Amino acid sequence: MGSVLSTRAKVWWAVITVVVLVGALFPVVSIFMTSFKASSDINSGTFLPPRWSTENYEQILASGGSAQELFLSALRNSIGISLIATVIAVVLATLCAYAIARLDFPGKRLILTTALGVSIFPVVSIVTPLFNLWRNIGLYDTWPGLIIPYLSLTLPISIWTLAAFFRQIPWELEQAAQVDGATPWQAFRKAIVPLAAPGVFTTALIAFFIAWNDFVYGISLTSTSAARPVPAALAFFTGASYFEEPTGAISAAAVVVTIPVVVLVVLFQRQIVSGLTQGAVKG
Amino acid sequence: MASITLKDIVKRYGDGFLAVDRVNLDIADGEFVILVGPSGSGKSTVLRMIVGLEDITSGDLEIDGVRVNEKAPRERDLAMVFQNYALYPHLTVAENIAFPLRLAKGKHSEEEIREKIEHAADMLDLREHLDRKPANLSGGQRQRVAMGRAIVRDAKAFLFDEPLSNLDAKLRGQTRTEIARLQRRLGTTTVYVTHDQTEAMTLGDRVAVLRRGVLQQVASPRGLYEQPVNLFVAGFIGTPPMNFLPGEVKDGRITLPFGEFDMPESITKAVGDRGLVIVGLRPEHFEDARLVDPSKKDRGHTFEAQIDVTEWLGAELYAYVPFDMHESVKGQLEELDRELDGEGLRTQFVVALDSASRVRDGDTTDLWFDPTKMMIFDPETSENLTRDEDEAARIEEENAEDRKRSLERAQKQDAQV
């Protein structure tokens, strides 16, 4: 493989990159711009807001804003439910992946295949039975009622990423630490955990985003602000009057819920890039 | 510092595979012992049982006379250098070296730890790398960090598991001498596993040769070379390897693939009443007939050989001579070749001639050899019939003396510095 690209190839790559970038970022930027438009300018048809206004943000965040109640409770639900689902998924997946990477036991492949099967199972097909079941056993419109289905989304992918990550850890280090005078627990904590941490962290981020972004479960298994997460709550925004579309408020809410995701990725970019195991063994 | 004793050590894996079969080995305090053998001989398993990473199925392992079979690795107080170095990638070189010291909580003050790190770093030439991470080091530097981690804590013994196999050839030679010097200076009991017989010969006070989990022979490098107990040891030690030729004996004369010769008395005695033996001749016991000193020429035999390929190496010249293998020993020699990780492509023998020899590919030339150097092996038991126990004992004694002298010298020099 030649490492130097020809000029022609470079041009093509540049074109493709620009197209992909514009395709991916245009909607985001557009929503961002819309969120700063005053309600009277929503239909102005311009990309940039004719007049920058924080009206929409006041509506969802400031006390007395028309959608404030709806949005803030939804935000609380989203954060709480996603965090709990993430923590449970990561703890369980860590134990599971550790066993898969380290031990030889019957049914190892079965676990991985099952996890894969669960993760590709279409969400839409379970939602209706789940709706009936949840109503009968009293989980409908509660936090656990969302956390449990979220686990079905986050667990499989956590198990897969962590198992792949754990397989790369040179377990010889654990033995080396034991020879160096560590107890098995010390060996695990001082030699393995520092290497596994970036992988666990990355997995937690991915799991969190999956739970955070869910819409189908969120809208189907909740009915009040007791458990409704942000993506579902956006659909219940109302305009200032019956004839006014709540486009601006929805855009502002979308921007607000995107910010944590962006911040997390920017902050932990380095940890996500897990070049840490290099050099442990022959490079 | 400590002695290590293995008594009837057996390792049988869960699936019934017998990896190590009744190994007995006495490693004296301060001794450098090599475990050597081809792949699958169980040498690494023995080492891992000594350090405690592998359970011992039966037998006793004693360190300083105390049975340690059930002790965890950290209680055995041994230091090990792994084949892949097993450095902690998240720690700097200094912290890697300090790792065992920090684990022994409260034993060393911060000041002491720093001193020890620096001492080890100086000894291993790592001073300017102390703040770097292992990922940014070369293979040789990583290897030295691993050694630093081993020497920093005054362990009872050092264990090396093929520490040089990931280095390139030149570095391997340098590191080899470095390890030898370090060990002599510190005088620490060392067990070293390798599949490379050059490492075994150059480093060890004594070398233990393993084959399929069974200990074949424990002796000084010279003892193994001159007085091997059987075909396997004879074939494993020496480069190029010993030539094995079928020899038919009749009326006091022996027929080798390249001629019929009178047997010296010692050989006749060793052969006994056997009609067919395997004859071992080292490449260096042949010479170009034209270059042999006239005074010793009469002691040996000259024969004509058709040279196939030659390799001129500057200091000497290897010439390959094809021959027909006798059917009755063919199977056994092929099996031996496979065990020694060979490919057994063709039957040929190698002779190492003086580099002044003008023998070249395809020549027919006169070669000379000394029949008293022949080793005779029983084709059934593969035992060395020419082994001289008295001579072997004498070699071991000499070796022990030499070793003691060089240890004392090294430590005296160290004390002066």
Q: What are phi and psi of B340, to 5 degrees?
A: -85, 20
**CA-CA distance, B219 to B69, in Å (whole number)?**
26
Taking alpha carbons only, the member of B187, B218, B167 closest to residue B35 is B218
Query: Could you please report the per-residue DSSP string of B101-153?
Result: HHHSTTTS-HHHHHHHHHHHHHHHT-GGGTTS-GGGS-HHHHHHHHHHHHHTT
Query: Is residue B185 domain-shared with residue B255, that is, in the same domain?
Result: no
The domain tally of chain A equals 1
* B300 min Cα distance to partner chain A (Å): 51
Q: Report if residue A43 sits inside a domain.
A: no
Q: Which residues of B touch A106 (CB under 8 A)?
A: none
- Residue-level pLDDT at B1: 66
Contact assignment for B74 to A173 by CB distance below 8 Å = no
Range of the domain at A157: 68-278
Query: Strand, helix or coil at B291?
Result: helix
For testing contact with chain A, the best of B45, B74, B76, B167 (most A CBs within 10 A): B74
Contact assignment for B86 to A181 by CB distance below 8 Å = no
Nearest CA in chain A to B85: A281
Structure tokens at B173: 């030679």
**CA-CA distance, B346 to B348, in Å (whole number)?**
6
Q: Which residues of B touch A170 (CB under 8 A)?
A: 84, 86
Structure tokens at B149: 């981690």
Contact B14, B73 (CB under 8 A): no
Question: Does pLDDT of A279 surpass 50?
Answer: no
Contact assignment for A278 to B135 by CB distance below 8 Å = yes
Contact assignment for B133 to A279 by CB distance below 8 Å = yes
Query: Is residue B32 domain-shared with residue B147, that is, in the same domain?
Result: yes
Sheet holding B18-27, edge to edge: B18-27, B4-12, B58-63, B66-67
Query: Is residue B317 domain-shared with residue B381, that is, in the same domain?
Result: yes
Contact assignment for B136 to A276 by CB distance below 8 Å = no
Q: Report if residue A61 sits inside a domain.
A: no
Give residue-wise pLDDT tens across range A152-169.
989 998 898 888 888 888
**CA-CA distance, B21 to B13, in Å (whole number)?**
12
Query: Strand, helix or coil at A283?
Result: coil
Structure tokens at A115: 């996890």
Nearest CA in chain A to B153: A180
Instruction: Give the closest of B73, B139, B166 to A179, CB-based.
Output: B73
* B285 min Cα distance to partner chain A (Å): 41
Instruction: Give the closest of A183, A275, A277 to B74, CB-based.
Output: A183
Query: Is residue B213 domain-shared with residue B254, that is, in the same domain?
Result: no
Instruction: Give the closest of A182, A186, A282 to B166, CB-based.
Output: A282
Q: Report if residue A126 sits inside a domain.
A: yes
Contact assignment for A279 to B137 by CB distance below 8 Å = yes
- Residue-level pLDDT at A102: 84
Q: Report if residue B271 sits inside a domain.
A: yes
Contact A221, A134 (CB under 8 A): yes
**CA-CA distance, B339 to B350, in Å (whole number)?**
19
Q: Which residues of A touch B133 (CB under 8 A)?
A: 279
Query: Is residue B257 domain-shared with residue B121, that is, in the same domain?
Result: no
Look up residue B326 and give its DSSP letter: P
Instruction: Give the closest of B74, B77, B133 to A178, CB-based.
Output: B74
Q: Give B337's strand partners.
A: none
- Residue-level pLDDT at A242: 62
Instruction: Give the closest of B53, B72, B90 to A276, CB-based.
Output: B90
Query: Is residue B60 domain-shared with residue B12, that is, in the same domain?
Result: yes
Q: Report if residue B397 sits inside a domain.
A: no
| Helices (H), ranges, chain A | 7-35, 55-61, 68-102, 108-120, 123-137, 143-168, 172-179, 184-187, 193-213, 216-220, 230-233, 247-272
Structure tokens at A33: 């711009």
For chain A, the residues whose C-beta falls within 8 A of a C-beta of chain B are 170, 172-173, 175-184, 186, 190-191, 194-195, 275-283
Q: How far is CA A62 from CA A57, A87, B16, B190, in A?
A: 7, 31, 73, 74
State the CATH number of the domain containing residue B9. Answer: 3.40.50.300
Q: Which residues of A touch B139 (CB under 8 A)?
A: 282-283
- Burial class of residue B385 (count of CB atoms within 10 Å of its CB; 0-12, 13-18, 19+): middle
For chain B, the residues whose C-beta falls within 8 A of a C-beta of chain A are 51-53, 72-74, 77-80, 82, 84-90, 99-100, 103-104, 133-137, 139, 142, 149, 153, 166
Contact assignment for B89 to A277 by CB distance below 8 Å = yes
Query: Is residue B86 domain-shared with residue B221, that is, in the same domain?
Result: yes
Provide the whole-model pTM. 0.77
Contact A91, A76 (CB under 8 A): no
Contact A181, B100 (CB under 8 A): yes
- Residue-level pLDDT at B33: 95
- Burial class of residue A263 (count of CB atoms within 10 Å of its CB; 0-12, 13-18, 19+): exposed
Contact assignment for A176 to B89 by CB distance below 8 Å = no
* A181 min Cα distance to partner chain B (Å): 4
Query: Strand, helix or coil at A88?
Result: helix
Question: Does pLDDT of A90 surpass 90?
Answer: yes
Question: For the residues A171-195, what does the mean pLDDT come to?
Answer: 88
Strands B58-63 and B157-161: unpaired
Question: Does pLDDT of A280 surpass 80?
Answer: no
- Residue-level pLDDT at A1: 46
- Residue-level pLDDT at B109: 87
Instruction: Give the closest of A170, A177, A178 to B84, CB-based.
Output: A170
Q: Report if residue A129 sits inside a domain.
A: yes
Taking alpha carbons only, the member of A253, A273, A279 closest to residue A73 is A253
Contact assignment for A176 to B134 by CB distance below 8 Å = no
**CA-CA distance, A8 to A28, in Å (whole number)?**
31
Query: Is residue B180 domain-shared with residue B316, that is, in the same domain?
Result: no
Contact assignment for A279 to B99 by CB distance below 8 Å = no
Q: Provide the pLDDT confidence category of residue A276 given band limits of 50, 70 and 90.
A: very low
Structure tokens at A230: 């942000």
Q: Report if residue B65 sits inside a domain.
A: yes
Nearest CA in chain B to A174: B86
Q: Provide the pLDDT confidence category of residue A226 given band limits of 50, 70 and 90.
A: confident
Q: Which residues of B touch A175 (CB under 8 A)?
A: 53, 73, 82, 86
**CA-CA distance, B137 to B160, in Å (whole number)?**
20
Range of the domain at B257: 239-387
**CA-CA distance, A233 to A256, in Å (whole number)?**
13
Q: Longest Cα pair distance anywhere in chain A, in angstroms?
A: 75
State the CATH number of the domain containing residue B327. Answer: 2.40.50.140
- The distance from CA A191 to its chain's CA centroid, rounded to whole angstroms, is 29
Q: Provide the pLDDT confidence category of residue A197 given band limits of 50, 70 and 90.
A: confident
- Residue-level pLDDT at B264: 87
Query: Is residue B249 domain-shared with residue B204, that is, in the same domain?
Result: no
The domain tally of chain B equals 2
**CA-CA distance, A226 to B303, in Å (whole number)?**
102
Per-residue pLDDT of chain B (417 residues; tens, 9 = 90+): 689 999 999 999 988 899 999 999 999 988 999 999 988 899 999 999 999 999 999 999 999 999 999 999 999 999 999 988 899 988 999 999 999 999 887 788 889 999 999 999 988 889 999 999 998 898 889 999 999 999 998 889 999 999 998 888 888 888 898 898 888 888 899 999 999 888 999 898 999 999 999 999 999 999 999 999 999 999 999 888 899 988 899 888 899 988 888 888 888 888 888 888 999 999 999 999 988 888 888 888 899 999 999 999 999 999 999 988 877 778 888 888 888 777 666 788 899 999 988 888 888 999 999 888 899 999 888 899 999 899 999 999 999 898 888 888 877 877 776
* A1 min Cα distance to partner chain B (Å): 26
**CA-CA distance, A183 to A191, in Å (whole number)?**
11
Query: Is residue B350 domain-shared with residue B380, that is, in the same domain?
Result: yes
- Residue-level pLDDT at B25: 94
Contact assignment for B103 to A181 by CB distance below 8 Å = yes
Q: Provide the pLDDT confidence category of residue A273 given band limits of 50, 70 and 90.
A: low
Question: Does pLDDT of A2 surpass 60?
Answer: no
- The distance from CA B231 to its chain's CA centroid, rounded to whole angstroms, is 15
Taking alpha carbons only, the member of A219, A272, A251 closest to residue A78 is A219
Contact assignment for A282 to B82 by CB distance below 8 Å = no
- Residue-level pLDDT at A91: 93
Q: Report if residue B401 sits inside a domain.
A: no
Query: Is residue B165 domain-shared with residue B254, that is, in the same domain?
Result: no
Question: For the residues A65-75, what does the mean pLDDT come to?
Answer: 82
Q: Report if residue A45 sits inside a domain.
A: no
Taking the C-alpha atoms of B34, B37, B42 and B44 in order, what is their torsion angle to the nearest 10 degrees? Answer: 50
* A87 min Cα distance to partner chain B (Å): 25
Q: How far is CA A278 from CA A181, B76, B88, B133, B356, in A?
A: 24, 30, 10, 10, 50
**How many residue pairs from chains A and B have C-beta atoms closer than 8 A?**
89
Q: Which residues of A touch B53 (CB under 8 A)?
A: 175, 178-179
Taking alpha carbons only, the member of A99, A89, A127, A105 closest to residue A209 is A89
State the CATH number of the domain containing residue A79. Answer: 1.10.3720.10
Q: Report if residue A151 sits inside a domain.
A: yes
Contact assignment for A283 to B135 by CB distance below 8 Å = yes
Structure tokens at A103: 């031990």
Query: Which residue is it, tokens 């060089």?
Result: B406
Q: Report if residue B416 sits inside a domain.
A: no
Question: For the residues A62-83, what does the mean pLDDT come to?
Answer: 85
